[in-house]
Chain A
Amino acid sequence: MATAYSSAELLDQIEALSGQAVSDCYQCGCCTSGCPIGEAMDPPPSKAIRLLQLGRAADLLDSDGIWMCASCMVCGTRCPRGVDYARIAEACRALILRSKLSRVDPDTVAAPELEEIPQQAFIAAFRKSSV
């Protein structure tokens, strides 16, 4: 992601937006093992948090994984350290969206899908992934 911020500044922003402290995570992996989307998510929650701990916030913002989180909140519910990765992913997406880069373009959703998918899904997808 093209950004004027250093990784340290990005981490500050992610922690402020999400209300989560990445240093609380001790890498047990409970979040990743329970994630229903984990096999399609790169990096999965625990690795994503590890990237942040290692000062690599920019790499996380460049990843596909933050867009794969469906906000199901299993990870945060089970985390023994009270870290809510769904909120961290939300903060990462928000940082990117606020720099005006949509992930899902409403104009490209195919017509047959418009007919049948419940509108709640569209609004949710655009809220999470579009400017």
Chain B
Amino acid sequence: MTKYVYYPGCTLYTKARSLDQCARKAAEKVGFELTEMPSWNCCGAIYNATNDDLAAQVGSVRNLAKASQIGNKLVTLCAACHNVLKRVQNRLDAPGNEVQSERLKTFVDEEFVQPVRVLHYLEVLKQDIGFEAIKSKVVKPLAKLKVASYYGCLMVRPREVLEFDDPENPRVMDDLMRVLGAEPTRFDFKAECCGGYLVVNRRDVAKGASQKILDNAKEWGAEAIVTTCPLCQYNLDKLRATTDGCLPVFYFTQLLGVAVGLGQGELGLDHNSGDPVGFLKSKGLL
């Protein structure tokens, strides 16, 4: 079984445990293993886009250096960690940025042993495992569940750095959902911003942005939404006025877990608002 060095990040250890737990267990079902990187630290939570602020990059630089001492790939799951690590890596390697890069590397006092490629879990599934191989591991097809795949900002932008998918119409999660037996819906707001960290001090603005996303998913007939970002999941799931009759907002790893046969107790469904257990039962998935 192929082993990958895995960077969970802070949020996946606490408020987004179900994203992490399902991912680790589902990985073993589809044929790879996530080995948690030892002594990792916070990635910095958000990328600092000013040209001169090196201190904000240090956390990620240290993680990348530590990872390079173990392997040449670092797997992420949280969209924010992925975005930050990938952009800091890009900044370190950017032509013309050698002086800053050297300063940062000297500061963290950790040796860079080899180039590290930051890979999202979805990229491992698609590129290394292959969706066809995953199809053969599906024991509980998702019963043509109509799923809107929500990518948000951090997985797809900036396009030239993330190199993940089409920033206007990403499809990786849609393709995965199809392989798992779900029916991906059209979704115009799949890469629109949920309001992100504005929830901290402008909850009203984040609520408005999130509601538009939910409304659009519903308009296209979605029965559920999947995402890979703890903050998107929170904003979509928790800012709405009521969860009665609303779309459940799952981590994609939860539906992956269902499809590859994880038990109800392994899905972390107590995290989601409303009645996710009842919903999945009504679809014959639990």
Please tell me if B37 contacts chain A, counting CB pairs below 8 Å: no
A37 touches B167 (CB 8 A): no
A77 touches B167 (CB 8 A): yes
List A contacts of B78 (CB < 8 A). Answer: 120
Task: Return the CB mask of B221-255 against A: 1 if under 8 Å, else 0.
Answer: 00000000011001000100000000000000000
The 7 closest A-B pairs by CB, nearest first: A72-B193, A123-B45, A125-B200, A73-B157, A124-B197, A124-B46, A72-B153
**CB-CB nearest in chain A for B204:** A40
**CB-CB nearest in chain A for B46:** A124
Task: Return the CB mask of B180-193 against A: 1 if under 8 Å, else 0.
Answer: 00000000000111
New A-B pairs, 12, CB < 8 Å, besides A71-B196, A91-B49, A91-B50: A19-B51, A37-B193, A70-B153, A70-B196, A74-B153, A77-B167, A109-B200, A118-B234, A119-B45, A120-B80, A124-B45, A125-B197
Please tell me if B201 contacts chain A, counting CB pairs below 8 Å: yes
* Smallest CB separation, A86 vs chain B (Å): 6
A17 touches B51 (CB 8 A): yes
B202 touches A87 (CB 8 A): no
Instruction: Assess A118 versus B50: contact at CB under 8 Å? Given A40-B202, A72-B153, A125-B201.
Output: no
B201 touches A129 (CB 8 A): yes
A124 touches B80 (CB 8 A): yes
**CB-CB nearest in chain A for B10:** A119
Q: How far is the CA of A36 from the CA of B235 in the complex (A)?
A: 14
A119 touches B14 (CB 8 A): yes
Please tell me if A76 contacts chain B, counting CB pairs below 8 Å: yes
List B contacts of A19 (CB < 8 A). Answer: 51
The total of chain A residues at the interface (CB under 8 A) is 39
* Smallest CB separation, A91 vs chain B (Å): 6
List A contacts of B46 (CB < 8 A). Answer: 71, 120, 123-124, 127-128
Contact of A70 among B158, B191, B198, B238 (CB under 8 A): B198
Please tell me if B278 contacts chain A, counting CB pairs below 8 Å: no
Instruction: Assess A127 versus B45: contact at CB under 8 Å? Given A73-B157, A120-B230.
Output: yes
